[in-house]
Amino acid sequence: MPHQFNENLPIYLQIIRRFEVAVARGELAQGAKLPSVRETAIEMQVNPNTVQRAYQEMERIGFVTTKRGQGSYVTDDPVVLTGLRDRLAQESIERFITEMAALGIHASELAAMLANYAHRAGNGQSE
């Protein structure tokens, strides 16, 4: 199955996001080898050129390096990796704040709400 190409983003950007998340989560660790362009293309049922573009862009972004004839690897630079993680976190935060603002909940209230939530979850309480 085409591993879900729905969300109205260019496919190559979706591929990038996919790898960004995998790397940020540590599923693809520092220095790990990415699947080949061809493999990824088959797995995602996408044209190899599209995957190629995504890989190039990831290299430009900096968290992937390509060694000719060998393949693509997650960077070894821990600064880049934590930077990636921070960027994703930042995006997540902004999305969250935007959503809550749409419901009329100000950023100033969020810290308290989260603390409250964390407390409830931590104690396994339901109410």
Interface positions with DNA (CB under 7 A): 1, 10-13, 34, 36-39, 46-50, 52-53, 55-56, 59, 66, 68-72
Q: Which helix (H) or strand (E) holds 65?
A: strand 64-67
| C-beta separation of 63 from 21 below 8 A | no
Residue 79 interacts with, from DNA, its own copies, none (CB under 5-8 Å by kind)? none
Q: Does 61 bind its own copies (CB under 8 A)?
A: no
Which pair of tokens denotes residue 8?
């109205």
User: Considering only CA atoms, which of 70, 67, 82 is closest in space to residue 30?
Assistant: 82
Write the interaction track for its own copies spanning residues 81-120; mark x where CB under 8 A is met and - where it is not.
----x--xxx-xxxxxx-xx-xxxx-xx-xxxxxx-xx--
Q: Does 79 bind its own copies (CB under 8 A)?
A: no
The amino acid that residue 79 corresponds to is: V
Q: Does 13 bind its own copies (CB under 8 A)?
A: no
